Amino acid sequence: MSNDTIVALATAPGESALAIARLSGPDALAIASRCFRGRVSPEASASHRILFGSFLGADGAVLDTVLASIFRAPRSYTGEDVVEFSCHGGASIPAAILDELMRLGARAARPGEFTERAFRNGKLDLAQAESVAALIRARSERSIRAARSALGGALSRRIAAIDAELVSLLVEVEARIDFPGDIDEAMDVAALSARCASLAALVRDWVRRSPGTRRLQEGLRAALVGRPNVGKSSLLNALVGYERAIVTEHPGTTRDTVEETIAVNGVELRLIDTAGIRGSRDPMERAGVERARQAVDACDLAVLVLDRSEGLHPDDGTLASHLPASPLILAWNKADLPRRRASEAVRPGGRTDIVAEVETVAIRPGGAEPLLDAIRDAIPGILGTNAGDEVATTSARQEGHLAEALGALERAEAGLRACATYDLVAVDLADARRALGEIVGRGVDDAVVAAIFSRFCIGK
């Protein structure tokens, strides 16, 4: 860990009323004192004070009127001396302040380096640090709550509770290795096996719920798919409330995916309008169809849009049979038009995972509401009925380590039932502890830590 002083904007670049330049490190107070003029210098100030004054450039001229917030180690976000300058926003003033702070000895911070220092200085564990990035990315009320819960330590406390039970089990098992003559084998092996099974069941339930909980944080993807000119773009526009996609009477207008986000019951839902899927010799249209297929493969929910006025077309069944095994909603659009022929009762492609079948009139006010209601009803099934009730994981990395811990616990449980040697059971229990420990940063390789924080934004 370097012991230099770093600086970066803690606010997004661009036009704004205010910007914040953040300094952290052993020379933060000294550097700040050389460019700040006020009644009290940063070096002389007590911690957690806000100073009013001027920020001076290299020639002594005033660059801006600023507020300097002082946080002395260890009572700061990073655990180091921290000074935050609040200045006017825009492009020029914040850039000039950063340049001057670097001229005086600070180094430009790497992405996530402030939070990385907080982790390395014991202000946050790794699970809490990852939740900072999740909180920044959060785009719905429920995802904010989940990330804030992890930042507050809920995930870490859950890990600590499981680890404490693992330690207790490991002590019992190792006692049988070191002091076999002092243990009542007949009475205690069954109890040990039951405790291990109970702990495995708890972690198994957590693993089962975790993907749904993380989906809740990251949002869901719903793809509108169908033949050309069935009204997919019109439905997208109706759902988002404005003309997001171009709509004409000519088939094949949409050549690329068009995406927009809405909030449904506190969950972020990314709607994806896709090109009409059909065979074509036009290279542009073929490229659009390929992107449509990729979007559908990656979606959490597919909406197959059908033309009610035409009834079921043979291509609808072919298309439905090739859709991935995700929940499927049938949206019979153009329900206001007379039917040219009777609609077959058979479901397209013989699909059995159709969760709803609705009629819509995309061009009529309120005509997409049945589809929106169907999507709303489908979300709990996609996330899991208890999504949000479980302590939230905030990354695929954490979910992977949970799965590792579960595998080790299941091996230990099986070993106890089969009366395997206690040495092997102890190895499995230790593996479970190691996997859980890596979630909060215990024993994590420096390269892994660096990779995690490299995905953060600069200034955080």
pTM, whole model, 2 decimals? Answer: 0.70
Find the distance separating the first CA and the last CA of the chain, reported in whole Å: 17
Write down how long the chain is.
460
Chain centre to alpha carbon of residue 334? 37
Whether the pLDDT of residue 279 is over 80: the answer is: no
User: Phi/psi zone of residue 320: left (φ > 0), alpha (ψ -120 to 50 degrees), beta?
Assistant: alpha
Establish whether the linkage from the previous residue to 111 is cis, with ω within 30° of 0: no
What are the CA-CA distances from residue 244 to residues 240, 254, 255, 331 (Å)? 8, 12, 14, 19
Q: Mean pLDDT in the chain?
A: 83
d(CA 104, CA 6): 11
What are the CA-CA distances from residue 161 to residues 147, 199, 434 (Å)? 20, 11, 14
- What are the tens digits of pLDDT across the range 230-266? 888 888 888 888 776 555 454 444 445 678 888 887 7
Nearest to 120 by CA among 196, 19, 6, 207: 6
Looking at per-residue confidence, does 255 or 371 come out higher?
371
- What are the tens digits of pLDDT across the range 438-454? 999 988 888 888 888 88
- What are the tens digits of pLDDT across the range 81-124? 999 999 999 989 999 999 999 999 999 999 999 999 999 999 99
Amino acid at 31: I
Whether the pLDDT of residue 430 is over 80: the answer is: yes
- Structure confidence at residue 253 (pLDDT): 47
| Domains contained in the chain, CATH given | 6-124 (3.30.1360.120), 131-201+395-440 (1.20.120.430), 219-383 (3.40.50.300)
- Residue in the block written with tokens 């069954």: 190
Nearest to 150 by CA among 121, 122, 120, 129: 129
- Structure confidence at residue 250 (pLDDT): 47
Looking at per-residue confidence, does 324 or 6 come out higher?
6
pLDDT-based confidence at 211, cuts 50/70/90?
low
Looking at per-residue confidence, does 370 or 248 come out higher?
370
Nearest to 77 by CA among 111, 46, 48, 40: 48
